[in-house]
Amino acid sequence: MDLFPYPPRGGQKDIYKAITKTLEEEANLVLESGTGSGKTVVSLSAILNHIKDEDMKLIYITRTNSQSKQVIHELRQINQVERIPGIALQGRKNLCPLVKTDPNFTESNAEELSVLCADRKTETLKQIADEAGEEQGREPDDPLVTKPSASDNTDRGPEGPNAAGISPSPAKDGVTIDLTGPDGPREATSIEDAAIGGTGTPGDPYIIDVTPSNLRSAKEDLATEMEILYREKGWGPLVPMTDDRSPKKGKKAPPTCKHFKRYMTSEREELLEYVRTEIPTAEEFTEYCHERGFCAYEAAKFVIPHMKVICVPYIYVFMPFIRNHLLTWLKTPISQIVLVVDEAHNLPAFGRDLATTALGETTIERAINESTYLGTPQLTENIDATDMCNAMSEVMQELITDFVMSEDGIVPRGEVSVALMHYFSTTSQEVEAAVEEMIQVGTAYRERRRKEGRLPRSYLKTVGEFLWGWFEGQTPDYIPLVVSHPRRRMELYCLNPARSTAVINAFHSSVHMSGTLRPLDEYVDTIGLPNDTPANVYPSPFPPENLKVSYLNDVTTKYEEIVMDRGIVQRMIDHVIQVVNRENRNAVIFFPSYNLMNSFLDSGLRTALKRPIYIEAQGMDQRELMATINRFKKHSKKEQRAVLFSVMSGRVSEGIDFPGAELELALLIGLPYPKPNARQRALQYYYDIKFGKGWEYTVKAPTVRKVLQSVGRLIRSEEDRGLVVILDHRAPHFKEFIPSMTLTADPLYEMATFWPNPTR
């Protein structure tokens, strides 16, 4: 354990050895080890010890910002042993300064932001080239502009195509913008290598030749990169941007980006040295860049090739469009990259959501407005765009009426196509032709908006593409749904997360970690890992007597039983009041849903508890949530302790630490079984057919993880002590995962034996 920065404890040596063996075999490893066991630092040190002298990288993916901070904290500790550079990044919207000031950037999705950014950068580079051309008289050693010299060609290497197959053009009639990086000058194969995310060559693009021929060549290169993006996203043909950059009378010049310009004309050695020295968190890196007025996204692309460790959100790996950019920046083949998936219990649901598409009422309404604005384009002889959108609105309402039982319903395959045929009294061929034409109309309108410097979005295109996917994409891995609550929509729901996660098998190795990953076989099967993937559970390093878990068998949140016995709810409320008021300790009360939590609060529980109350409300933004959590935590040092109301599988139960007296008591009001809706029934049937374990994989597994996540909030160190009371007689179903759990008829007695000296 050469790079391990602490004295090893518990099962850390065993985890280290297992990860090392996985890397040697270029395989995968799934492991569960309790929160606070040091999984992060063990995985980092084991992997870095293996790859530090190799041409390999580590991508460490997390779900939350707090997890990302922990990775950087441990990497900084490892750097006390040996210097190994790394960086954490947020999503592109957090990196781009224009997102805060320009509505187009604020409202854009990932693909739209990429296009907006590419166009701004293209215009900015043209501006830089023009300004450089006007200043050819400046001294050769000027940091921005130098006159060409004979040495320029030697920097570029031999004549002929470079590694990207692009022949360099001589700079005899122009000037050179010197953006030399710390590894020496390189030739850029495009005037804007970074417009879409590519670099063009294996080297770093620091030198940009500004000549008429190179400008033309660069625009062609950029157009090629844009074509790749459009083809990958299925956006149809790319409409070239106009070559005429002079503003028309009464029109503004094409917008540029001052942050990109600042970055392109700034010294980068200081940036790289900052990252290598400080190993910044995602927020620190973004703040450093924005304080200096340049684009953090472009800075990240420059820095990443020099890093050994890159910590990013899940989306960077599992969305193909973004993953391809990241791999291009890294300049390392995926077969030479080790992947760590932190809090891996989140990955199956994330993979399903990423591959799921939906069409809501709001989008249809906006498509109708767009069609009206465009003069109601005719799609086929009998169908125009407005009629098609109106038809979809009516069809959605009919589907909700016919198929929704509670909140959603499965739509028979072909039902939408038949409904549209009846609506227009036409054939399926004309309906499909109309959908295809609507996509083309929307594509043209989106490109028009792009050329005008507006958000490149078309709602007609969105509706058309959803319908095309609905007609063509109904494979066994997807189920067509209609949903009435909370938003009315049609949905092509992905049952198989491996549609998104199978790329894991292309990495050199992967390590999947969580404190709550059991049942491990479900995880291996669900995300598409090989059947022989090792899956290990490592015991908690903390004294088992520090955590006591009990359950009550006279109550439950099972709906059928509550209907039969109305006294159940009141008994649960009475238990909560007695337990919370018995001990003056910070307590959290977890519920299966926000609806149930709100009903308990409205039943008088809010006033019956003799404690300050804090609530994780549904829809609460991150800043407000953290302010609420911090106020709750401060009561651990006050005379009167507090109570926090939250939900299992919410942000409190999954991503917040409560060390010491910040949390000592937890009550679980029932068990968080998934709702028995159409989506859940389809998922269970799918896994019954595929693995013969429908109930185990789709009901038991997610419920176990939510319970263990909630219980795990109490014990984060060897000194922590906590008591959990589960208010549901079904708790023994999960005793194999909480073997110390015991039945109690008197929770007050359990508290008295666990805390002999009550603190009222």
pLDDT of the residue at 169: 32
| pLDDT digit string, tens, across residues 696-714 | 999 999 999 999 999 999 9
Is the CA virtual torsion 93, 98, 100, 106 positive or negative? negative
pLDDT of the residue at 651: 87
| pLDDT-above-90 percentage for the chain | 72
Helix (H) or strand (E) holding 725: strand 722-727
pLDDT of the residue at 1: 86
| pLDDT digit string, tens, across residues 489-540 | 999 999 999 999 999 999 999 999 999 999 999 999 999 999 999 999 998 8
**Strand order across the 509-514 sheet:** 86-88, 309-313, 57-62, 337-341, 509-514, 28-33, 535-538
pTM for the full model? Answer: 0.84
pLDDT of the residue at 238: 54
**Strand order across the 145-146 sheet:** 145-146, 175-178, 207-210
Region 733-750: mean pLDDT is 94
* Length of the chain in terms of residues written: 760
pLDDT at 150 over 50: no
- Distance CA(345)–CA(19), nearest Å, equals 19
543 phi/psi in degrees, rounded to 5: -55, 125
In three-state secondary structure terms, 86 is: strand
* Beta bridge partners of residue 62, listed in sequence order: 313
| pLDDT digit string, tens, across residues 588-598 | 999 999 999 99
Helix (H) or strand (E) holding 262: helix 258-264
| pLDDT digit string, tens, across residues 629-657 | 999 999 999 999 999 999 998 889 987 88
Name which residue leads in pLDDT, 451 or 313: 313
pLDDT of the residue at 236: 53
Name which residue leads in pLDDT, 146 or 731: 731
621 close to 693: Cβ distance less than 8 angstroms: no
pLDDT of the residue at 207: 30
DSSP assignment of 334-403 equals GGGEEEEETTGGGHHHHHHHHH-EEEEHHHHHHHHHHHHHTT--B-SSS-BHHHHHHHHHHHHHHHHHHH
| pLDDT digit string, tens, across residues 420-442 | 999 999 999 999 999 999 999 99
- Distance CA(305)–CA(17), nearest Å, equals 29
Q: Which among 336, 333, 311 has a CA at the least distance from the CA of 324?
A: 333
pLDDT at 201 over 60: no
pLDDT of the residue at 655: 72
- Distance CA(185)–CA(107), nearest Å, equals 38
Region 287-299: mean pLDDT is 94
How many of the other CB atoms lie within 10 Å of CB of 431? 26
Q: How far apart are the first and last CA of the chain?
A: 47
pLDDT of the residue at 268: 87
pLDDT at 21 over 90: yes
**Exposed e or buried b per residue across 26-63, where buried means at least 16 C-beta atoms within 10 angstroms of its C-beta:** ebbbbbbbbbbbbbbbbbbbbbbbbbeeeebbbbbbbb
| pLDDT-above-70 percentage for the chain | 84
| pLDDT digit string, tens, across residues 108-135 | 998 899 999 999 998 998 888 888 765 5
217 close to 177: Cβ distance less than 8 angstroms: no
167 close to 200: Cβ distance less than 8 angstroms: no
| pLDDT digit string, tens, across residues 55-80 | 999 999 998 888 899 999 999 999 99
pLDDT band per the 50, 70, 90 thresholds, residue 604: confident
pLDDT at 141 over 90: no
pLDDT at 412 over 90: yes
Residue in the structure block whose two tokens are 């010294």: 267
pLDDT of the residue at 131: 81
Average pLDDT of every residue of the chain: 85
- Indicate the burial class of 398 (C-beta count within 10 angstroms; 0-12, 13-18, 19 or more): middle
pLDDT of the residue at 685: 97
* Beta bridge partners of residue 536, listed in sequence order: 31
| pLDDT digit string, tens, across residues 379-391 | 999 999 999 999 9
pLDDT band per the 50, 70, 90 thresholds, residue 367: very high
pLDDT of the residue at 473: 74
pLDDT band per the 50, 70, 90 thresholds, residue 36: confident
In degrees, rounded to 5, the angle at the alpha carbon of residue 139 between the alpha carbons of residues 137 and 143 is: 115
Q: Which among 369, 491, 360, 381 has a CA at the least distance from the CA of 437?
A: 381
Region 387-406: mean pLDDT is 96
pLDDT of the residue at 671: 97
Residue in the structure block whose two tokens are 């850390």: 12
Residue in the structure block whose two tokens are 């990860």: 19
| Token pair belonging to 20 | 């090392």
| Token pair belonging to 547 | 């955590």
| Token pair belonging to 305 | 């090739």
550 phi/psi in degrees, rounded to 5: -125, 160
